[in-house]
Amino acid sequence: MEIVLNRNTKTDKSTIGDLSINGKFECFTLEDVERDKKVYGKTAIPKGRYEVTLTMSNRFKKVLPLINNVPGFEGIRIHSGNTAEHTEGCVLLGITKSTDFVGNSKMAMSRLMTKLEAAAKKEKIFITIS
Cα dihedral 74, 22, 33, 67 in deg (nearest 10): 0
By the 8 A CB rule, do 103 and 95 touch? yes
Instruction: Residue 99: name the closest of 42, 19, 41, 15 by CA.
Output: 15
For 83-123, the pLDDT digits (tens) are 999 998 899 999 999 999 999 999 999 999 999 999 999 99
Q: In this predicted structure, what is the pLDDT of residue 41?
A: 84
First to last CA, the chain: 17
**Percentage of the chain modeled with pLDDT above 90:** 92
Q: In this predicted structure, what is the pLDDT of residue 15?
A: 97
Domain extents for the chain?
A: 2-129
The pTM (predicted TM-score) of the whole model is 0.95
Mean pLDDT of all residues belonging to the chain:
96
For 27-36, the pLDDT digits (tens) are 999 999 998 8
User: If you write DSSP's letter for every residue of 16-70 in order, what string do you get?
Assistant: EEEEEETTEEEEEEEE-B--SS--TTSBPPPSEEEEEEEEEETTTTEEEEEE---
Mean pLDDT of 75-87: 95
Non-local (6+) Cβ contacts of 3 within 8 A are: 19, 20, 21, 26, 52, 125, 126, 127, 128
DSSP conformation class of 90: -
By the 8 A CB rule, do 52 and 67 touch? yes
DSSP conformation class of 12: S
Q: In this predicted structure, what is the pLDDT of residue 49?
A: 98
For 50-62, the pLDDT digits (tens) are 999 999 999 999 9
